[in-house]
Amino acid sequence: MKVNFILNNQEVTYEVDPGEVLLDSLRKNHLVSVKRGCDSSTCGVCTVLLNDKPVLSCSLLTASIEGKNITTVDGLQKEIEEIAHYFGDEGADQCGFCNSGLALTIYALKKEYKHPTDEEIKHYVVGNLCRCSGYQAQFLAIKRYLGGAK
Amino acid sequence: MEIKNYARPSSLEEAYDLLTTSGQNALLGGGVWMKYANRKVDTMIDLSLLGLNQIVEKKDEVIIGAQTTLRDLEINQAIKNLGTDFLSQAIGSIVGVAFRNVATIGGSIAGKYPFSDLITPMLCLNVTLKFFPDEEMKLSEYLDQKHKHPGILTHIIIKKTKGKGYFKKVSNTILDFSILNVACYYDNAFMIAIGSRPAKPILATHVMHMLNQSSQLTNELISSAGDEIIKTIPFSSDDRGSKAYREILAKTYVMRGIKEVTKP
């Protein structure tokens, strides 16, 4: 079946199986910035934005996104680069595998909350697991990004 | 799960016709647990064009469309106002935001998932389920049904009350399934529900009756309520926790819940 949607501000049409999930569709079409982690609706590595809200692409049927907006880090290069600078400054990076999903979640958090509390930040990003760096440096980087500190 | 065809009907009538045409057709909720289902679906029916993703607050009730995501539910002010935020907190304990932006309330209820952190607190509230074409039933009644309901769950209606609620999820990590969950609610009468036993969530009717019949809430009565939970609610073991562990958790958190919801 054909599915029409907006991918990173461009109209696209994908030919998919009705049971295919968005993660597979995107990666088949060379959007490999979207990573496959647990593949069981938990780790957040495969996060993309659906109409500006973070969703797990491993758990979303591609057929269900007809006419909707999908954003990956490829469509937000300037904003993601800014987040990456804060992560680099705080030493919050190691392998980087979780970064694209986490960066999109943080970007969505900034759009949803004007001045989030520490608890609100933690609650929002808790679904994005990192297996190597721990969370303190990431948390500091997120706080600096949200606060606009340089 | 194998899906042969995908349909997006433009009316409930059309969706119902499709659903009843074949036993191999199915309704799409959020779809987050779909990949674990070992079944073949002829036509997957997507209800997203039917406007079932709204939350409407009325004077005495909150009406929730079945396609409302758990995240929209969690941050809705009318839902936050129910039972001093206990329902929103329970929903907020379900995996992460990106998961809750996909999972729907209708899918969570229709799935009757035993580990559900949504169903347990909802059992403590006055919740009615509305099905197309024309049926309403209480949530507890729906959970007790052995057969698959033939209709389409369209709305979940929660009567507003001014009570106080408590919810506790016990899990190995925040993102894990509950080993056990407990909800208590007090609004001139106690409601207590226990889920992930690991069987489906149920009301602790015996203990509720015991508490509601008593004229005074004493520490002895609360302690007896904890003992009676173990005697009257069936618990068992699975890979997440043993029967004995669940019994200790249930006793502890039911007692804490009773104290919490009766605090001035």
Q: Is B145 near chain A, with CB under 8 Å?
A: no
The residue extents of the domains of chain A are: 2-74, 76-147
* Interface confidence: ipTM more than 0.90: yes
Q: Which of B56, B4, B48 is nearest to B25 (CA)?
A: B4
Assigned token pair, A149: 């500190």
Is the peptide bond preceding residue B264 cis, with omega within 30 degrees of 0? no
Among the partner residues A61, A126, A129, nearest to B31 by beta-carbon distance: A61
Bridge partners (DSSP) listed for residue B65: B155
Q: Is B102 near chain A, with CB under 8 Å?
A: yes
Report in angstroms the alpha-carbon separations of B251 from B69, B114, B231, B245, B247.
Answer: 32, 19, 10, 10, 6
User: Thinking of the domain A2-74, which architecture would CATH place it in?
Assistant: Roll (3.10)
The per-residue pLDDT for A148 is 65
The per-residue pLDDT for B39 is 86
The residue extents of the domains of chain B are: 2-50, 55-159, 164-261
Query: Do the domains spanning B2-50 and B55-159 agree at the CATH topology level?
Result: no
The per-residue pLDDT for B103 is 97
User: Nearest 5°: phi and psi at A49?
Assistant: -100, 130
**Measured between beta carbons, which residues in chain B are less than 8 angstroms from residue A61?**
3, 6, 28, 31, 34, 44
**Measured between beta carbons, which residues in chain B are less than 8 angstroms from residue A60?**
31, 102
Q: Which chain A residue shows the shortest CA-CA distance from B45?
A: A64
The per-residue pLDDT for A149 is 55
Tell which CATH classification among 3.30.465.10, 3.40.50.970, 1.10.150.120, 3.20.20.480 matches the domain B55-159: 3.30.465.10
Q: Is A15 near chain B, with CB under 8 Å?
A: no
Cβ neighbour number for residue B9 with a 10 Å cutoff: 18
Q: Which chain A residue shows the shortest CA-CA distance from B70?
A: A55
Cβ under 8 Å to A: B residues 18-77? 28, 30-35, 41, 44, 46, 48, 71
Residue A150 has pLDDT above 70, yes or no: no
Query: Is B129:B30 a contact under the CB 8 Å cutoff?
Result: no
Assigned token pair, B187: 């609004």
pLDDT band at A65 (very low <50, low <70, confident <90, very high): very high
Assigned token pair, B69: 């995501």
Q: Which chain A residue shows the shortest CA-CA distance from B44?
A: A18
pLDDT tens, per residue, chain B with 264 residues: 899 999 999 999 999 999 999 999 999 999 888 877 888 999 999 999 999 999 999 999 999 999 999 999 999 999 999 989 999 999 999 999 999 999 999 999 999 999 999 999 999 999 999 999 999 999 999 999 998 899 999 999 999 999 999 999 999 998 999 999 999 999 999 999 999 999 999 999 999 999 999 999 999 999 999 999 999 999 999 999 999 999 999 999 999 999 999 998
pLDDT band at A74 (very low <50, low <70, confident <90, very high): very high
Q: How far apart are CA A21 and CA A11, in angstroms?
A: 19
**Measured between beta carbons, which residues in chain B are less than 8 angstroms from residue A55?**
98, 101-102
Per-residue exposure over B137-156, b if at least 16 CB sit within 10 Å of its own CB, e if not: bebbebbeeeeeeebbbbbb
Domain B2-50 has CATH 3.30.43.10: yes
Q: Record the pTM.
A: 0.95
**Measured between beta carbons, which residues in chain A are less than 8 angstroms from residue B32?**
41, 56, 59
**Measured between beta carbons, which residues in chain B are less than 8 angstroms from residue A22?**
none
Class of domain B164-261: alpha beta
* Domain A76-147 superfamily per CATH: [2Fe-2S]-binding domain (1.10.150.120)
pLDDT band at A104 (very low <50, low <70, confident <90, very high): very high
